[in-house]
Structure 1
Amino acid sequence: MKKLSLRGAGWLVAGGTAALLAACTSTPLPPPEPEPPVVVIPPPAEPPPVVEPAPRAVSSASTPRAYRRDAAGHLYTLHRDRIYKGRMPPLLYAIGVIQVEVDGKGEVRDVSWMRAPRHAPEVIAEIERMVRAAAPYPVPARMGKVVYTDTWLWHKSGRFQLDTLTEGQD
């Protein structure tokens, strides 16, 4: 067996150290993959409560003229912020006479003008919109269906009165 000299032993130690260091210093590891985002799935929503439709108003009117009061009251209730309060001034912006056909369920089937305020097409459109939007009307139980006529008195402010429920005119 050969004896190692100090010089040979030094090289051996240096080589072993170098090998050890080389083994410890490898190529850097790739960065860890990001964790997938946490998705929170909300619990199933409770179904909305069942809302029973409001019972429809029923009119006991036996004539179109009598039904007109029920329809006017219905329109006034829905458009209370648009009603002209008090007596109307002598000069109105528009006056229109309209016929409304209401079926046995209170739905509007037809709107026709007997006297349209042609100088104010915006009033014609607004009255028709309001009449249709007010459905369902009181059900004309005794007549099955009804065609009633009413006169709209229109102020320049956009407020109105129906002739059936008017407070008069100065």
Structure 2
Amino acid sequence: MSLIDRAKRAAHWLIGPVLAACGGPRAPAPVPAPAPPQSPVVAAAPAPAAAAMAPKPAGMPSPKAVRTHDELRRQAAERLVQANPERSYTTPAPPHLLTVIVVDVEVKADGSVRKINVIRPPKYGPETLQMAIDAIHRAAPFGDVRRMPEPWKFTETFLFDENRRFKPRSLD
């Protein structure tokens, strides 16, 4: 091997990494993003067939027209208990609850359910979410809201006890 060949080989070995490093700063290897947390807001499906077919309890009065959001929330809470007597309780909430669910219920002008958004899903007892949604559909309509300012919606918190019965927080 001649002196020139050795010099070329040495130049490749010495200058190659230097030239590669001069190409500008390398971007660090992409760090995989953590999986996004499950969104707490979940649009609920329309009324399931079982809830839609369930008869309203006898003695359910027709809802009154409401003019304020507070009236709507209070009337909705009362109707939830009236429409679901065996699935609800009105006594003070026990010190230990199974789970707490928070939903936004958007209503149409006649008070029927347009959409249910889950703000806080259950941490325990996942079946309680469907129980709450079914209870809302059984209690609807919640009263004529045309004289009320928009948005026509209310927020309800369901306090589920160990027996999987709920209490609307609005009744406290």
TM-score bracket relative to the smaller structure: 0.5 to 0.7
Is the 1:58–1:141 Cα contact (8 Å) retained in structure 2? no
Q: SS at 1:104's partner residue?
A: coil
Is the 2:87–2:164 Cα contact (8 Å) retained in structure 1? yes
Deviation string 1:23-51 (CA, Å, 9 cap, x unpaired) is xxxxxxxxxxxxxxxxxxxxxxxxxxxxx
* Residue of structure 1 equivalent to 2:106: 101
Q: SS at 2:132's partner residue?
A: helix
Pair member with larger Rg: 1
Classify 1:133/1:120 alpha carbon distance in 2 versus 1 (closer, same or farther; 3 Å): same
Question: One-letter code of the match for 1:126?
Answer: M
Query: Offset of 1:61 from its aligned partner?
Result: 2.7
Partner Cα separation in structure 2 for residue 67 and residue 154 of structure 1: 22
Name stretches of at least 5 consecutive residues in structure 2 with no aligned partner.
1-59
Q: SS at 1:139's partner residue?
A: coil
Question: One-letter code of the match for 1:156?
Answer: E
Query: Offset of 1:85 from its aligned partner?
Result: 4.2
| 1:147 has 2:153 as partner | yes
Partner Cα separation in structure 2 for residue 58 and residue 96 of structure 1: 26
Partner Cα separation in structure 1 for residue 128 and residue 61 of structure 2: 31
Q: SS at 2:158's partner residue?
A: strand
Q: SS at 2:70's partner residue?
A: helix
What TM-score, normalized to structure 2? 0.58
Partner Cα separation in structure 2 for residue 88 and residue 60 of structure 1: 27
Decide which of 60, 67, 78 is 1:61's aligned counterpart.
67
Partner Cα separation in structure 2 for residue 81 and residue 164 of structure 1: 19
| 1:136 has 2:141 as partner | yes
Decide which of 116, 119, 122 is 1:111's aligned counterpart.
116
Runs of 4+ with deviation above 4 angstroms:
none
Partner Cα separation in structure 1 for residue 92 and residue 154 of structure 2: 24
Query: Offset of 1:133 from its aligned partner?
Result: 2.5
What TM-score, normalized to structure 1? 0.59
Q: SS at 2:77's partner residue?
A: helix
Query: Offset of 1:75 from its aligned partner?
Result: 1.2
Query: Offset of 1:56 from its aligned partner?
Result: 4.4
% same residue: 29
**Cα RMSD for the two superposed structures:** 2.2
Question: One-letter code of the match for 1:100?
Answer: V
Deviation string 1:50-83 (CA, Å, 9 cap, x unpaired) is xxxx994232332x23310011111111112222
| 1:157 has 2:158 as partner | no
Tell me the matched-pair count. Answer: 112
Query: Offset of 1:129 from its aligned partner?
Result: 1.3
Partner Cα separation in structure 2 for residue 74 and residue 55 of structure 1: 9
